[in-house]
Chain A
Amino acid sequence: MTASTAATIDEDTPMPATERELLPTATGAETLAVLRGLLRRQRGLTAAALTVLLLGTGIGLLTAPLLGHLVDLVDRKAGTGALTLPLVLLVLVALGRGGATAIGSALVARLGETLLASIREQFVERALRLPLERVEAAGVGDLTSRVTGDVALIARTVRQALPEFARSALTIVLTLGALAVLDWRFAAAVLVAAPVHVFTLRWYLGRAIPVYAEQRVATGALQQQLLDSVGGARTVRAFRLTDRHVGLVEQRSQAAVDLSLRGIRLVTGFFSRLNLAEFIGLSSVLVVGFLLVDDGSVSIGTATAAALYFHSLFNPINAALVLIDDAQSAGASLARLVGLSALPVEAEPAEPATALDGSVEVAGLGHAYRPGHPVLHDVSLTVRDGERVALVGASGAGKTTLAKLVSGVHRAAEGTVRLGGADTAALGPAGTRRTVALISQEVHVFAGPLADDLRLARPEADDAELRAALERVGAQDWVAALPEGLDTVVGEGGHRLTVAQAQHLALARLVLTDPPVAILDEATADAGSAGARELEAAAAGALAGRTGLVVAHRLTQAASADRIVVLDRGRVVETGSHQELVAAGGRYAELWSAWADSRVTTG
């Protein structure tokens, strides 16, 4: 197993999906307000982009009347010499339109990308600063899907849909204007088709959104099934489950195919309905042209220009309408991002207290993740500055919860935690984090150069400090052996570190953070016994010189601690040194004898 796949969820917090309290989603009005605020900051850019695009589209619209004029000249047999001026103008129009489109698109892209960057920076920062308990109540997946899926969807819309939509919409508006300039009755003729457009769009949007949502789910399920079956290929073979898993893949694939085809039916139905609008619009423009030429109010050239104008509108109309779908999804994504701002920030006290030393005092601590299911009851505990205390207990005894409460990652429902003599409420979130660090069971290696991963703990650290921290946890050798040492790209998509190496990194980060109090809740177990011994030595190195509260997953970790605190079903049942507790013959002695028995008596 490699580090990136070894995310373990601690056993104290089983949180069924049905009880999850999802993060909030903003209303349409709130989302628009945020968007308006962002656009206001880019007012100049917005105006410039619109002006240039308008100019480009306007120039482009001159093509049809110039061609119409050409037709009139030909009709009048005005002679080849008369063609020069309109042709030169047409060439200028083509060049001008190209230039304006280039500049306009670049400006629209600049506007869109700048907005996008502001949005993602603002909301990723918001996401990273959310209280962990709120994120966990919603499930980490909710937050991840917002900062990745939703941001990516908005990005795609900004990059692909926005420029085309802007161009198409402007083309439509200006063409209608130009038709009205030729004769207002041409514009009116085109609008005859508008009800078909409105009807088609409503027909499409009502159906497209649920189908696409289902499609995304089905595609995700297929991808997941493939990862599940292919990733577990060894297990599939060992348990002779090949037929079953091939069947599952086929089933999910067929579901994705069926939904994909439903989507295709919808899109093709959409465009084919728009064909009807094209026919209605074109016929009415031709009929109006016929009547107007007949009563002498316009020339044949003008009627030709009107027909060509409308023919050139086919693509922009289709593009603009189909993109409304994208705009709607992007809006929904933005609402999910903006929703994050509705959550309260962690308040800092006006005059934060400071911790005087590394002592920890816990009094009357109680906690429940689900109402009526308390996991800690009235826990009191004092740890002297520099002392090393081991927390011992079976799975579900509340060790991890106590670690989270003391570190301030979660706030206790009852009781107080004092660090260095100051209450955590008085220290404030920032002060608490400066005082105490928690190395949790989560093993995560941040993507990028290994040095960058370590610098998250201390951004100003130089390479020598990083090396010193690695040496203190005994990681210098394997880091030096990496292809590019400290600069090796690790994590997702980079060099894959083992779980033990990832845990070394976590301890090195702790050394760099250098807090007076450290709480270790790492799962050393997966590394096997030789690895576990090595990591225990690394942990001892990282804890030297600070107060340590260690969640002991192996009893050897406990035996070497200054003091042992035994938890059972959320209560402290014993506390004392290893010798004292073994001699007392209580819960710890029982655990120890189970462990020692298996080791025979020679250990």
Chain B
Amino acid sequence: MRTGGPTGGDVLRRAIGGQRRLVTGAALLGMTHQACEALVPVVIGVVIDRAVATGDGSALLRWLLVLAVLFLVLSTCYRTGARVGERAGEQAAHRLRSELATRVLDPRGGADTGRLAGALAGIATGDAKRVGGVATVLPYGVAAVAGLTVSAVLLLRISVPLGLLVLLGIPPLLWLGHRISMPLERRSGVEQERAAQAGGIAADLVAGLRVLKGIGAESAAVARYRTTSQDSLAAALRAARSRSWHDGAILALTGVFIVLIALVGAVLAMNGSISVGELVAAVGLAQFLLGPFQLLTYVNGEFAQGRASAGRIASVLAAPAAVATGTGSVADPLGALRLRGVHHGALRGLDLEIAAGSLVGVVARDPAAAADLLLCLGRETDPERGTVELDGTDLTALDPTELRAAVLVAHHDADLFEGTLRENVPAASPAAQAAAITAAAVDEVAEALPQGLDTALDAGGSSLSGGQRQRVALARALAAEPPVLVVHDPTTAVDTVTESRIAERLRTARRGRTTVLVTTSPALLALADRVVVLEQGVVTADGPHHELAADASYRSVVLA
């Protein structure tokens, strides 16, 4: 499905490359921090050796001063490094989010085909964050390597055999730990998912609370929730048990390893190859070294996750456009539409002419035919065969944005956006806005709201009823005053009285401009200049509503 767009690797490289300076800075600071952390036990050893063991007070002061400087550098580097690294990650994620939004909302479309909004939002938040996270953890990885190197050098300087033992011993130790945890992790992943189920069910039951109350099903719902909760509890306990044994095993393994270092160190110290202070430092370093190794394992895991996320992001960015880019534009369109032999989905060779400035009703017996007609008119897709023309120009020759300025398709399930009622009806002038608001009877909607037209709507307009939403969507379409307006079932959820009022005003509102009403509502069809009936993907009847109404088959679709 990709068409020469970026691959997951490209996305990852660009995300890190874009933050090159920050990542490098964080890495340098992180390296210094790790090196300082490694030096802390060494300095403790030196204090024991040179001050505590000898009773030399000035040595104590000197080395405590060194310790102070060490902590100062360590703390500053940690703080600055972490901030710089996180900034890199956050900025990379932000840039990816912006790219994703641009691609998904691109006028040519295509990136949202077959993807749910929730999934796309998840990619723009979760996946973008994980890819950005790679830029954040990369410096940690570099720092861990630096910490390893410094400790290794220090250890080897204390004693070559002891240093080699530590350095060669840690990888198998970690590998062993990984082997122990692998099956546990796999199992606990499944268990944790089941453990999370209780939360999902609770949310679902509360979301359906009105339904439950309506049929008095609270007790049944409570019983179901208890069962789910107990299942989740059992799963969570199994997961916790696995994890606990895993933690215990790792702890025991590490402990035994430290004992081994102590044994070898003690023997070496006993025969005088190393000092007591060096023994202390070696044990401290062995303990410290586990940190950088674990850090590397963690960075590796983050990289794997980041790669997978980058792949998902790339698949969105590289999605092929739904329609090709045309370059033409239409200046001052008259608004005449002509469809010639259009084949697309449920449309099978549709021929249809709509005169400029006319108001035409389209009745489709098959809802799929209506949907496909709208897709072709709004150029959300190009027909498989045949042409759609605006004022004699093939739509495929037009820039999609230019075309939509001339032809506006308002879908039946059009979404409202967050913002006030007024903001959802943008118009060129306040007069146009007011006219559209009156025509679609949105003024009545506003009357019922606490702040009228300035009432803020919830996301998707969910604070309004279906009928109210439809009226706002219709007002928005009218307020745009496009030369050609195609409206699909604009009043299905509106009560009859209001619908007939809207129908009366609609004609006036669109006077002199082309309007296509794809609907089965008799109230709207009655005001059209002519009504076209689509059956089997072609026009089977054409005439004014009152004439067609004599036909029984027309009546069965329209006059329920």
Query: How far apart sit A78 and B276, CA to CA, in the bound complex (Å)?
Result: 13
Query: How far apart sit A14 and B450, CA to CA, in the bound complex (Å)?
Result: 8
Min CB gap B257→A, angstroms? 9
- Tell me whether A307 is interfacial, beta carbon within 8 Å: yes
Q: Tell whether, in the assembled complex, residue B266 and residue A264 are in contact, meaning their CB atoms are under 8 Å apart.
A: no
Chain B interface: which of A171-179, A327-335, A441-449, A462-470?
A441-449
- 10 CB contacts below 8 A, A to B, read A5-B460, A87-B263, A227-B121, A229-B101, A230-B105, A240-B107, A242-B105, A246-B101, A286-B60, A529-B521
Given contacts A235-B415, A598-B526, contact A80 B267 (CB under 8 A): yes
- Tell me whether A222 is interfacial, beta carbon within 8 Å: yes
For B240, the closest partner residue in chain A by CB is A109
Chain A contacts for B213, CB-based, 8 A: 132, 409, 433, 438
Q: Tell whether, in the assembled complex, residue A102 and residue B52 are in contact, meaning their CB atoms are under 8 Å apart.
A: no
- Tell me whether A144 is interfacial, beta carbon within 8 Å: yes
Q: Tell whether, in the assembled complex, residue B117 and residue A230 are in contact, meaning their CB atoms are under 8 Å apart.
A: yes
- Tell me whether A51 is interfacial, beta carbon within 8 Å: no
Min CB gap A266→B, angstroms? 10
Q: Tell whether, in the assembled complex, residue B411 and residue A235 are in contact, meaning their CB atoms are under 8 Å apart.
A: yes
Q: Tell whether, in the assembled complex, residue B225 and residue A128 are in contact, meaning their CB atoms are under 8 Å apart.
A: yes
- Among B52, B94, B497, B545, max chain A CB count under 10 A is at B52
Q: Tell whether, in the assembled complex, residue A87 and residue B269 are in contact, meaning their CB atoms are under 8 Å apart.
A: no
- Tell me whether B354 is interfacial, beta carbon within 8 Å: no
Q: Is the interface of B mostly helix, strand, loop or mixed?
A: helix
- Tell me whether B211 is interfacial, beta carbon within 8 Å: yes
Chain B contacts for A265, CB-based, 8 A: 83
Q: Tell whether, in the assembled complex, residue B249 and residue A268 are in contact, meaning their CB atoms are under 8 Å apart.
A: no
Q: Choose from B244, B410, B466 the contact partner of A102 (Cβ within 8 Å).
A: B244
Query: How far apart sit A349 and B71, CA to CA, in the bound complex (Å)?
Result: 71
Q: Tell whether, in the assembled complex, residue B105 and residue A233 are in contact, meaning their CB atoms are under 8 Å apart.
A: yes
- Tell me whether A46 is interfacial, beta carbon within 8 Å: no
- Tell me whether A343 is interfacial, beta carbon within 8 Å: no
Min CB gap A277→B, angstroms? 10
Min CB gap A198→B, angstroms? 19
Given contacts A525-B493, A602-B549, contact A121 B276 (CB under 8 A): no
Query: Within A46-86, which residues are at the interface with B (CB < 8 Å)?
Result: 63, 67, 70-71, 73-75, 77-80, 83
- Tell me whether A208 is interfacial, beta carbon within 8 Å: no
Residues 130-147 of chain A, each 1 if its beta carbon lies under 8 Å from chain B, else 0: 001001000010011001
- Tell me whether A350 is interfacial, beta carbon within 8 Å: no
Give me the 8 closest cross-chain CB pairs, A-B, nearest first.
A94-B255, A98-B252, A102-B248, A433-B216, A109-B240, A598-B523, A232-B415, A231-B117
Q: Tell whether, in the assembled complex, residue B262 and residue A87 are in contact, meaning their CB atoms are under 8 Å apart.
A: yes
Chain B contacts for A303, CB-based, 8 A: 48, 52
Q: Choose from A101, A440, A526 the contact partner of B247 (Cβ within 8 Å).
A: A101
- Tell me whether B82 is interfacial, beta carbon within 8 Å: yes
- Tell me whether A124 is interfacial, beta carbon within 8 Å: yes
Given contacts A127-B206, A446-B204, A456-B224, contact A74 B217 (CB under 8 A): no
Q: Tell whether, in the assembled complex, residue B256 and residue A91 are in contact, meaning their CB atoms are under 8 Å apart.
A: yes
- Tell me whether A253 is interfacial, beta carbon within 8 Å: yes
Residues 374-412 of chain B, each 1 if its beta carbon lies under 8 Å from chain A, else 0: 000010100000000000000000001100110011110
Q: Choose from A79, A113, A124, A304 the contact partner of B202 (Cβ within 8 Å).
A: A124
Query: Within B402-454, which residues are at the interface with A (CB < 8 Å)?
Result: 404-405, 408-411, 413-418, 426, 444, 448-451
Q: Tell whether, in the assembled complex, residue B492 and residue A293 are in contact, meaning their CB atoms are under 8 Å apart.
A: no
Q: Tell whether, in the assembled complex, residue A457 and residue B117 are in contact, meaning their CB atoms are under 8 Å apart.
A: no
Q: Tell whether, in the assembled complex, residue A83 and residue B266 are in contact, meaning their CB atoms are under 8 Å apart.
A: yes
Given contacts A129-B222, A598-B500, contact A236 B105 (CB under 8 A): yes
Q: Tell whether, in the assembled complex, residue B378 and residue A238 are in contact, meaning their CB atoms are under 8 Å apart.
A: yes
For A16, the closest partner residue in chain B by CB is B450
Query: How far apart sit A238 and B91, CA to CA, in the bound complex (Å)?
Result: 31
Q: Tell whether, in the assembled complex, residue B205 and residue A599 are in contact, meaning their CB atoms are under 8 Å apart.
A: no
Query: How far apart sit A276 and B72, CA to CA, in the bound complex (Å)?
Result: 8
Q: How many residues of B contact A (CB 8 A)?
A: 167
Chain B contacts for A67, CB-based, 8 A: 262, 283
Chain A contacts for B498, CB-based, 8 A: 394-395
- Tell me whether B236 is interfacial, beta carbon within 8 Å: yes
- Tell me whether B372 is interfacial, beta carbon within 8 Å: no
Chain A interface: which of B11-19, B227-235, B306-314?
B227-235
Chain B interface: which of A34-42, A383-391, A505-513, A574-582?
A505-513
Chain A contacts for B230, CB-based, 8 A: 117
For A113, the closest partner residue in chain B by CB is B236
Query: How far apart sit A597 and B52, CA to CA, in the bound complex (Å)?
Result: 105
Q: Tell whether, in the assembled complex, residue B225 and residue A457 are in contact, meaning their CB atoms are under 8 Å apart.
A: no
Query: Within A272-319, which residues are at the interface with B (CB < 8 Å)?
Result: 272, 275-276, 278-279, 282-283, 286-287, 289-290, 293-294, 300, 303-304, 307-308, 311-312
Given contacts A1-B413, A237-B107, contact A148 B215 (CB under 8 A): no
Query: How far apart sit A127 and B203, CA to CA, in the bound complex (Å)?
Result: 11
- Tell me whether A27 is interfacial, beta carbon within 8 Å: no
Query: Within A104-138, which residues are at the interface with B (CB < 8 Å)?
Result: 104-106, 109-110, 113-114, 116-117, 120-121, 124-125, 127-129, 132, 135
Min CB gap B515→A, angstroms? 15
Q: Tell whether, in the assembled complex, residue A240 and residue B206 are in contact, meaning their CB atoms are under 8 Å apart.
A: no
Q: Tell whether, in the assembled complex, residue A74 and residue B270 are in contact, meaning their CB atoms are under 8 Å apart.
A: yes
For A7, the closest partner residue in chain B by CB is B462
Q: Tell whether, in the assembled complex, residue B204 and residue A269 are in contact, meaning their CB atoms are under 8 Å apart.
A: no
Given contacts A121-B225, A253-B97, contact A523 B493 (CB under 8 A): yes
Q: Choose from B75, B202, B256 the contact partner of A95 (Cβ within 8 Å).
A: B256
- Tell me whether A9 is interfacial, beta carbon within 8 Å: yes
Given contacts A231-B117, A238-B378, A457-B215, contact A71 B451 (CB under 8 A): no
Given contacts A120-B229, A230-B117, contact A9 B98 (CB under 8 A): no
Given contacts A105-B244, A125-B222, contact A257 B90 (CB under 8 A): yes
Q: Choose from B52, B252, B480 the contact partner of A289 (Cβ within 8 Å).
A: B52
- Tell me whether B304 is interfacial, beta carbon within 8 Å: no
- Tell me whether B34 is interfacial, beta carbon within 8 Å: no
Chain B contacts for A117, CB-based, 8 A: 198, 229-230, 232-233
Q: Tell whether, in the assembled complex, residue A311 and residue B220 are in contact, meaning their CB atoms are under 8 Å apart.
A: no
Q: Tell whether, in the assembled complex, residue A264 and residue B214 are in contact, meaning their CB atoms are under 8 Å apart.
A: no
Q: Tell whether, in the assembled complex, residue A272 and residue B199 are in contact, meaning their CB atoms are under 8 Å apart.
A: no
Q: Tell whether, in the assembled complex, residue B97 and residue A249 are in contact, meaning their CB atoms are under 8 Å apart.
A: yes
Query: How far apart sit A242 and B102, CA to CA, in the bound complex (Å)?
Result: 7
- Tell me whether B1 is interfacial, beta carbon within 8 Å: no
Given contacts A74-B266, A227-B121, A282-B67, contact A9 B76 (CB under 8 A): no
Min CB gap A595→B, angstroms? 5
Q: Tell whether, in the assembled complex, residue B497 and residue A105 are in contact, meaning their CB atoms are under 8 Å apart.
A: no
Q: Tell whether, in the assembled complex, residue B255 and residue A95 are in contact, meaning their CB atoms are under 8 Å apart.
A: yes
- Tell me whether A239 is interfacial, beta carbon within 8 Å: yes
Chain B interface: which of A355-363, A414-422, A552-560?
A552-560
Chain B contacts for A6, CB-based, 8 A: 466
For A395, the closest partner residue in chain B by CB is B495
Q: Tell whether, in the assembled complex, residue B217 and residue A456 are in contact, meaning their CB atoms are under 8 Å apart.
A: yes
- Tell me whether A411 is interfacial, beta carbon within 8 Å: no
Given contacts A14-B450, A249-B101, A268-B83, contact A140 B206 (CB under 8 A): yes
Min CB gap A423→B, angstroms? 18
- Tell me whether A479 is interfacial, beta carbon within 8 Å: no
Min CB gap A581→B, angstroms? 15
Query: Within A444-497, which residues are at the interface with B (CB < 8 Å)?
Result: 444, 446-448, 452, 455-457, 459, 491-493
Residues 259-285 of chain B, each 1 if its beta carbon lies under 8 Å from chain A, else 0: 100110011011000001001100110
Q: Choose from B237, B259, B413, B555 the contact partner of A109 (Cβ within 8 Å).
A: B237
Query: How far apart sit A528 and B263, CA to CA, in the bound complex (Å)?
Result: 82
Min CB gap A116→B, angstroms? 8
Q: Tell whether, in the assembled complex, residue B559 and residue A603 are in contact, meaning their CB atoms are under 8 Å apart.
A: yes
Residues 526-560 of chain B, each 1 if its beta carbon lies under 8 Å from chain A, else 0: 10000000000000000001100110000101111
Beyond A16-B455, A98-B252, A276-B75, 16 additional pairs, beta carbon < 8 A? A71-B280, A94-B259, A98-B251, A117-B198, A124-B225, A128-B206, A226-B97, A227-B117, A233-B117, A236-B105, A275-B74, A282-B67, A286-B47, A525-B493, A526-B466, A602-B559
Chain B contacts for A513, CB-based, 8 A: 215-217
Chain B contacts for A565, CB-based, 8 A: none
